[in-house]
Amino acid sequence: MANFKKLLSNIDTFIFDVDGVMTDGIVILSSDGDVLRTMNVKDGYALQLAVKKGYRVIIISGGSSKTVINRFNALGINDVYLGVSNKLELFHKLIKENNISKEKILYMGDDIPDCEVMKEVGVAACPADAAEEIKAVSVYISSFDGGKGCVRDVIEQVMKVQDSWFDNDGFHW
């Protein structure tokens, strides 16, 4: 665990998948064809705090939904890429265009489309209910399932290691 905590001290960028990470992977189909998802408010709190504290937060998902874009934009996340069929190709484009160091990225994914990117980042993480192939390439497996707090778990751990999690009234971790 000490090596894991040391890796977290270098993280300045978070990349998250949506379905199965931000959500529990269940979609509700409405009669008008819209796909509805639920997201965890504690994950949302951690995401907006990370943005406010200067971390780069990027969303990359194969799914596509205006409501998902609206949710992330409301949290201050503007790097939202939906409908992505090749996550590795987009990942390479983003790190090159934004001069992001792979070693400073924590990527959290849950299924096969995330695997190749996860092999290239500083910290590969996944929810407790991720696919076995994803668990096998992950440096960290959250004790929380997708949509149930796994995003907050990794953000909170990074920010605590970097002493930026909670600093009201002089209180620090």
% of the chain surpassing 90 pLDDT: 80
- Residues ≥6 apart with Cβ < 8 Å to 92: none
Residue 39's pLDDT is: 93
Q: Look at 14 and 63; give whichever has higher pLDDT.
A: 14
Secondary structure of 56-92 as H, E, C letters: EEEEECCCCCHHHHHHHHHCCCCEEECCCCCHHHHHH
CATH of domain 2-162: 3.40.50.1000
Residue 2's pLDDT is: 52
Look at residues 35, 36, 43 and name the one whose alpha carbon lies nearest to residue 17.
Answer: 43
pLDDT digits (tens, 9 = 90+) for 72-88: 999 999 999 999 999 99
> So where are the chain's domains?
2-162
Mean pLDDT in residue range 76-103:
96
